[in-house]
Amino acid sequence: MQIVSITRQGQVTIPAPIRKTLGLNRYPKATVRLEDKKIIIEPIPDLLKLGGILKNKKIKGKSVKEIIKLEEEAIAAAVSKKH
C-alpha cells in the first residue's frame, strides 16, 4: 500500500511500481468506477488489438444493449487474460 495525494482537480498519480506491475503504461486510457465505496481503475486495451473478440459470439438479432454487454464482457476477459 502506498499513500498518494489527490489534487484540487481530483487527479491522483498511480505510483510507478504499481503501474509497472499492472502494465498500465501500455494503455493510455482507463475506466474508473465506484464499487463498495472503493475506486476501481481498469486499463482499456488498444481496441485494434481486440479485433475479432466477438467472432465466436452470435450477435445477429440481438439488441444494441445486448451487443454492448457482450463487448464489455469480452474486453474484460481480454484484459484479465493479459494480467
According to the model, what pLDDT value does residue 52 have? 61
- Give bridge partners of residue 44 from the DSSP assignment: 29
Span 3-61, pLDDT tens digits: 999 999 999 999 999 888 877 777 677 888 999 999 988 887 665 565 565 666 666 67
Q: What DSSP designation does 44 have?
A: E
- Contacts with 73 (C-beta within 8 Å, 6 or more apart), sequence order: none
Mean pLDDT of 67-72: 80
CA dist., res. 82 & res. 43, Å (int): 11
Arithmetic mean of pLDDT, 65-82: 76
Is 70 exceeded by the pLDDT of residue 81? Answer: no
Instruction: Please state, in angstroms and as integers, the Cα–Cα distance from residue 43 to each residue in 56, 69, 72, following that order.
Output: 24, 18, 13
- Give yes or no for a contact between 12 and 28, defined as CB atoms under 8 angstroms apart: no
